[in-house]
Amino acid sequence: MSSNPTVEPIVSNTFDRRLTPQQILWTVVGSICYFAWFYGVVGLKTEHIGMYFLVGLLFFTNSSSRQFLYAFAIFFVYTMVYDSLRVYPNHEFGTVHIRELYEADKALFGVKYEGVRYTLNELGARFHQPFFDVLAALFYINWVPVPLAFGFYLFLYHKPMCLRFMYAFALTKFVGMIIYYIYPAAPPWYVAQFGFDLIPTTTGNAAGLIYFDQITGIPIFENFYAKAPAPFAAMPSMHCAFPVVCFIYGRELKNRLLNIAFFIFIVGIWLSAVYTEHHYVLDVLVGGVVAVLSCWAFERIAVMPRVKPFFDNLLVRIGGRGYGQLTLQGDFYSTVNRR
């Protein structure tokens, strides 16, 4: 099977920053709704204001920045939806699974040490070392930056695949968020600190990543997890799902070094998730399965007659030349493509 063709961007000779009356109306209505939601419901934060002005900057700067905005718009949508989870926490929606997940993971993947069976998380916490603390943190902190960097590369050189990747990436996260509410789950660090009783007011925790903060003297993870909107969202692990999405689409570029890099990225984040007590092995494995199934589902949905015109139009808006080129050509989807 051949890889996706490189798509040359369509460069417009003119760029009109003026808004049509319809665009003005949507801008005003959208701005009112955006600030009403985040100020009146979620709680307005600096990052919300920053994202609003970033979107405006991308839209008005030039044709290339507007194309980039159209390509990555789904990521901004995902960010807003995810941050809004704090409005209706999943622990209020259903029973939080604490003991059963811990016991299941220990039974399936636990290791005996000095006659006592421990989860791999507990062993990682017990025998953590500064070198591995730093290495795990460096992998973990790149769970979103690496996919975004890959998406930007695709935007520059493989626009059809850029859309496929970005929307499969978003679908993976949306499926993960649905599971958060179907199966609220406490992470390993929660059991280590609080046991098996539910404390609804619990906030996010850096867990094993706090050692990186202590080594560097910079509270990166402490500050990040203090703002986490969903502390009971361990199952599935989206940290472990996103590298799989990168690997799936990266394979289609037929670049051996890229494939190796993404495979190392998967292994590094998967091990780090367990080592730092953020996820059980079960969370990690389910995250990988969610990524594979979401990518498969998106590829089927994207070519449906009622959906494909949307991507046809969007590809032109980001400087591509036709979503019709975007058939399921990669090895991963070859069995689907033959049907």
Q: Give pLDDT, residue 226.
A: 86
First to last CA, the chain: 15
Q: How many residues does the chain have?
A: 339
Q: Give pLDDT, residue 10.
A: 41
Dihedral angle computed from the Cα positions of residues 315, 318, 320 and 322, in that order, rounded to the nearest 10 degrees: 20
| Cα separation, 13 vs 89, whole angstroms | 49
Task: Give 180-203 pLDDT, tens digit per residue.
Answer: 999 999 999 999 999 999 999 888
| pLDDT band at 336; cut points 50, 70, 90 | very low
**Residue ranges of the alpha helices (H) in 158-255?**
159-182, 188-194, 210-216, 220-226, 238-250
| Cα separation, 249 vs 314, whole angstroms | 19
Q: Give pLDDT, residue 17.
A: 61
Q: Give pLDDT, residue 25.
A: 86
Give yes or no for a contact between 233 and 184, defined as CB atoms under 8 angstroms apart.
yes
DSSP string, 37-88: HIIIII---HHHHHHHHHHHHHHHH-HHHHHHHHHHHHHHHHHHHHHGGGGS
**What is the 3-state secondary structure of 162-185?**
HHHHHHHHHHHHHHHHHHHHHCCE
Has residue 9 got a pLDDT over 50? no
Amino acid sitting at position 199: I
| Cα separation, 136 vs 139, whole angstroms | 5
Has residue 329 got a pLDDT over 50? no
Has residue 1 got a pLDDT over 80? no
Task: Give 217-266 pLDDT, tens digit per residue.
Answer: 999 999 999 888 889 999 999 999 999 999 999 999 999 999 999 999 99
Has residue 321 got a pLDDT over 50? yes
The torsion angles phi and psi of 5, rounded to 5 degrees, stand at -70, 150
Entry pTM = 0.87
| Cα separation, 159 vs 311, whole angstroms | 11
- 20 DSSP 8-state letter: P
